[in-house]
Structure 1
Amino acid sequence: MIFSRRHFMASAGIAGFAGLSGCTGQFGSANSYLTPIMRPQNHNIVTHWCDVIMQQIRDQRVPPPRAAYNLAMPTAAGFLAANGILQAYDDPFGIGVGPRGADPAMAYGVAFATAASEVFQQPFIGERMDFANQIPDGEAKSLGAAWGRQVGLKIVKMRTRDGSQPSKVNYYLNRYQRRHDALQWTPTGPLYSAKPGPAFDSFSRPLFPGHGQIKPWTMGRTENFRTAPFHDPASPEFAAEFDQVRVLGAADSRERTADQSEIALFWEDGPWGITPPGHYMLIAIQVLQDRNLSFIEWARAMALIGMTQCDASIQAWDTKYSHDVIRPETAIRHRAPKFANPDPRVEREQGWRSYIPTPEFPSYTSGHSTFGAAGAAMIGHILGSDEVSFAHQSPDQVLWPQLRGVTRHWNRLSDAADENGMSRIYGGVHWMRDHLVGMEAGKAIANHAHAQYFRRRV
C-alpha cells in the first residue's frame, strides 16, 4: 500500500492539526517550536508529535543527554508501528506485520504517545484525546490504535533494562575508572549560574556518569565508536589548544569577534530549552518540510534523527567518562602548573572565566560537536546532499535575550554543525580536540545508522 500525502492528510484530518492542544503549545502559538520555522501547509502528524516532545524537553528542563534518549524511543515507536502496517522499510527490531486495514496514522500517534509517556513520565492525556479526535471513527482507527499501543508497549519493554534507569544522585558506582594524572576532571568551581533569576552557585556532581553504558539503538557496541586518547598535557598540541581557548573563550576576551560571541550564545542550548539534540531535530524539520516527503518518509526521517541523536549522546558520554579530561576553566585557573608543559603560554590565570557556563561533566569529547555532526550527516543522507541553504533564529532565548531578532545563515548542513561545535571553543568550555574528534564520531554514527537501518523494501 502506498500511503500518499493526500491520503495521509485526508484520513488524518490534517487541517485540524494546527489546533491540537493538551498541555502542549498549539502550532501557531509562541510556545510551539514549529511556529517560526514551518509553514502551516507542511505541518503534519509526525511534526506535531515531535513538537510535543521538544516542548516537554524544555518544560521539564531535561538535560541534553537525557533529552537525546527521550527523542529516540517515541520517534522509533511511531515509525515502527506505522511501518508495520505499510511495510515500506525493513524492520530490524522484529515488530512484525500490522493488521490489514489499520490506519497507520492512528498507529503512529498511539505508539509515539505510549513511548513518550514512559520516557517523560507524563501521560499526555490531552494530546492523546485531541489527536484521536482528528481521525474519523471506524474499524481502521480502532485497529490502528490497538496496533499502535501494542508496538509502543513492545518498544518500552525492549528498552526497560537498557541501562537508562535514572538516578537522583550522579555517582560513578565504579562504572568508569578515574584517571590519576593532571588531566583528571574535577567539578568546575562555583562561579557560574545558568538559570533565569536568582540562583545559588555550588559545586555539582558529574552529570549522568552511567549514560555512556546505555544500550545503543544503532551503534552495536559502544566501544567500537570510542575515540583515541586526549593530548599529552606536556605536548605542543596541548599548549596550542590551551592558548587558543584561553584567548578566545575568556569572558573578557579581546580577541573573540562579535560574530564568534554571537555563535557561542546562539548554540549554547542549555537545559532551559530545546538542548542540542532537540535543536537538530528542529533543523531537520525545517529543511525537510519542502521536500514533499510522504507520511512514512517523515516518520522514518524523525526516527533516524532521534535514534542517532541518542547514540551520539551515549558515545559522547562513554568517551567523556572513559577519558575523564579536565575542562579549560579548571586547567587555566588552577591546574596549569601541574602539566609540566615547557610552552610559556601554559600558565595559570586565577581570574580567568569562560564566556558561557562550564558544564558539570568531563570535557573530552564535545557533546555539542557529536550531536551536530550526527544530526547534519543524517539529514544530509535523507536529503541526498549536504548542500542546503537555510537560516533561523535561536529556538530559545530565555538565558540570552541579546539573541532576540538575530538570524544566522548557512549554505551547508556541515557548516552549521561545525559552527555549533566551534561555539564551545568561543564559549571557553571545550578544547579544540574535543570538537574535532566529536565531529568525526558523530558523522561515523550517522553513516553507520543510515547504511544499516530502515532500508526501503524492494
Structure 2
Amino acid sequence: MKSKIYLLGITVLLFVSCKKDKAIVITTNDYCSVVDTVTGIMVHDIFSPPVASRIYVYPNIAAYEIMAQNSTKFQSLQGQLKGLDSIPELDPKSGVNKNLASLIAHLEVSKQLIFSEEALGKYRDSLYEKWEDENAEEFLVSKDYGLKVADRIKKWMGKDNYKQTRTFSKFSVHADQPGRWQPTPPAYMDGVEPHWGEIRTLVMDSASQFKPKAPYPFSTDKNSTFYKEAKETYDVGNMISKKLIEVEKSKSNKVPEESAIASFWDCNPYATVTQGHMMFAKKKNTPDAHWINIAKIALKKSNADFKTAVFTHTKTSIGIFESFISCWDGKFSTNVVRPETYINQNIDENWRPQLQTPPFPEYTSGHSVVSACSSVLLTSIFGDNFSYVDDSEIPFGLPKRSFKSFKQAAAEASISRLYGGIHYRAAIENGVVQGTNLGIYINGRIKFFKK
C-alpha cells in the first residue's frame, strides 16, 4: 500500500513538474485578440480618430521593440522614431519569452491610454492568471521585462505634446466669415482636436511635410470651381436619395451601391441619434480601427506568425498616426466649410447628407489620407493583389465587402466621402495624394529589417 502511495506521489510530482516546465505559447491570434479588446474599449469610450491613432501606435511599438531584441531579422526603431531610445536590453539567457513580454507590454501601455482602465485591467488580469498557471517562472521573468519596456515607452509617449494640447484653447468659430468651418447638425459640436498638428511626429520632419495643394478659393459664384464642387456633392447626394426612394417603393432589400459604400466606410464615432428630446451616441469604429482590422484580416488569411503580426500592426499604426497629424494640420489651417453648411446656405436649405458630418473642418478628407497611406503600407507587406473579405463593420450591422487589393479598398473608402455628402471631390483626391506620398515616405524611411 505504501509503495502505491509513493508511486502515486511521484506521478503527481512529475505531472506538476512537466506542467510548470511547459513553455507558454503566444500566437498571432493572441495578439489580435488583445488589439480587438482594446478596440472594443475605444469604441465604448468614444475616442476621436486622431486620439485613437495614438492609442494604437504606442502599444504596438512597445511590443515591436521587445520582438526586435536579439532578432536576426527585425531591426529596432530606436533612433528611427523621434525621441525613441534607451529601450532596456534583453539578456538572451534571461529566459524571457519575447512573445509573452511583447503582449504584456502592449497591454500595460494600452491601459494608460484608454478611459476604461478597469475593463482592460480585468481582461489583463485574467490573462496573467492563465499564463502564471501555465508556467509561473517564465511568466514572471517575461512580465518583469515587458513592464520595463512599457515604462520606457510611457515616458517617451509622455513627451509627445499630447498633455499640453489638452490645455490649449478651443477652436474659434467665425460664423461671420464666409467659407470658414461652422459646427454642423445635429449635435453642433466644437471642432475636434484643433491642435493635433502640434503633436510630435514619429517619422515626418514636420506636420506640414506633406502639405496638400491649397483648396479652391471660396466663392458663391455659380461659375466658380468651389460652387461647382459643392453642386457635385449636392447632386450626388440627391441621386442616391432618389435611388433609396425607388428601393423603398419597390420594397426591395437591395441597397444602392453608393449608399452601401458610404455606410460601410462611415467610421464616425461622433454619430448621434435623436429620439424626442433625447440625443445619444451611435458608437462606431474610427477609420483607424477599420484599417487595423483589415491588417488583422490579412494576417489571418496569410497565416502569418506572431512576429509578422507585431510588425504589421506597428507599421500600419505608425502610418495612421502620422496621417492624422498631417491631415489635421491642414484641416485647421485651411478651415474650409463643410458641404452641408455651404449647400444649406447657397443651394438648398433643406438638404442633408446621407452621413452625419463629423465635427471638424473639411480639407482634406481624413479617411482618404489614412486609407491611402494604410493601403501603401499593407501592400508593401502582403503584395499588390491581395484579395480579402472585409468584415470590419459586422458588429455595427453592416454586411461584408470584398476587395481585390488594399488600394481598391482605399479608393472606395475615399469616394465614400462624396457619396456620403461630407466632402468635396478636391479634398478626397488631394487627400489620396497626401496619404499615398506619406506611405511611400514611411516605406523608404523606416528600416524594419536588418540587411
Q: Structure 1-normalised TM-score?
A: 0.79
User: Which amino acid is 1:86 matched to?
Assistant: S
Q: Where does 1:101-140 land on structure 2 (aligned, <5 Å)?
A: 101-121=95-115, 122-123=117-118, 124-132=120-128, 133-134=130-131, 136-137=134-135, 139-140=137-138
Contact 1:87 1:97 in 2 (8 A): no
Output the CA distance in 2 between the equivalents of 1:324 and 1:178.
10
Structure 2 residue 407 is matched with structure 1 residue 407? no
Q: Which has the larger radius of gyration?
A: 2
Output the CA distance in 2 between the equivalents of 1:397 and 1:296.
28
Shift of the alpha carbon at 1:152? 0.9
Secondary structure at the residue paired with 2:162? coil
Output the CA distance in 2 between the equivalents of 1:290 and 1:433.
35
Structure 2 residue 133 is matched with structure 1 residue 147? no
Output the CA distance in 2 between the equivalents of 1:158 and 1:298.
23
Contact 1:333 1:349 in 2 (8 A): yes
User: Which amino acid is 1:158 matched to?
Assistant: W
Shift of the alpha carbon at 1:238? 2.4
What percent identity do the matched residue pairs reach?
22
Structure 2 residue 343 is matched with structure 1 residue 332? yes
Q: 1:449 aligns with which of 442, 445, 449?
A: 442
Q: Where does 1:384-403 land on structure 2 (aligned, <5 Å)?
A: 385-395=383-393, 398=396, 401=397, 403=398
CA deviation vs aligned residue, 1:40-92 (integer Å, no higher than 9, x gap): xx852321221121111112122222111111111111111222253632223
User: Which amino acid is 1:143 matched to?
Assistant: V
Contact 2:237 2:419 in 1 (8 A): yes
Structure 2 residue 6 is matched with structure 1 residue 12? no
Greater helix share, structure number: 2
**Which shifted more, 310-319 or 227-236?**
227-236
**Which shifted more, 275-284 or 129-138?**
129-138
Output the CA distance in 1 between the equivalents of 2:30 and 2:395.
27
CA deviation vs aligned residue, 1:250-303 (integer Å, no higher than 9, x gap): 497337881001111111122112211100010111022232433222111111
Output the CA distance in 1 between the equivalents of 2:378 and 2:181.
34
Output the CA distance in 2 between the equivalents of 1:298 and 1:354.
38
User: Which amino acid is 2:101 matched to?
Assistant: A
Shift of the alpha carbon at 1:310? 1.2
Match of 2:8 in 1: none
Secondary structure at the residue paired with 1:223? coil
Structure 2 residue 379 is matched with structure 1 residue 380? yes
Contact 1:179 1:324 in 2 (8 A): no
User: Which amino acid is 2:427 matched to?
Assistant: D
Match of 1:45 in 2: 30
Contact 2:268 2:358 in 1 (8 A): no
User: Which amino acid is 1:76 matched to?
Assistant: I
Match of 1:68 in 2: 53
User: Which amino acid is 1:111 matched to?
Assistant: A
Q: 1:237 aligns with which of 225, 236, 239?
A: 225
Match of 1:288 in 2: 299
Shift of the alpha carbon at 1:308? 1.2
User: Which amino acid is 1:97 matched to?
Assistant: E
Output the CA distance in 2 between the equivalents of 1:370 and 1:396.
24
CA deviation vs aligned residue, 1:156-175 (integer Å, no higher than 9, x gap): 1111121222877884478x
Shift of the alpha carbon at 1:140? 4.0
Secondary structure at the residue paired with 1:253? helix
Output the CA distance in 2 between the equivalents of 1:252 and 1:171.
39
Contact 1:392 1:409 in 2 (8 A): yes
Output the CA distance in 1 between the equivalents of 2:312 and 2:418.
30
Q: Structure 2-normalised TM-score?
A: 0.80
Match of 1:204 in 2: 189
Q: Tell me: CA distance 1:138–1:407, structure 2 relative to 1, closer, same or farther (3 Å).
A: closer
Contact 1:250 1:427 in 2 (8 A): no
Q: Where does 1:242-391 land on structure 2 (aligned, <5 Å)?
A: 242-250=230-238, 253-254=241-242, 258-271=256-269, 272-334=283-345, 336=346, 348-383=347-382, 385-391=383-389
Secondary structure at the residue paired with 1:86? coil
Q: Tell me: CA distance 1:291–1:11, structure 2 relative to 1, closer, same or farther (3 Å).
A: farther
Secondary structure at the residue paired with 1:225? coil
Secondary structure at the residue paired with 1:391? strand
Output the CA distance in 2 between the equivalents of 1:436 and 1:166.
33
Secondary structure at the residue paired with 2:358? coil
Q: 2:68 aligns with which of 70, 80, 83?
A: 83
Structure 2 residue 82 is matched with structure 1 residue 97? no
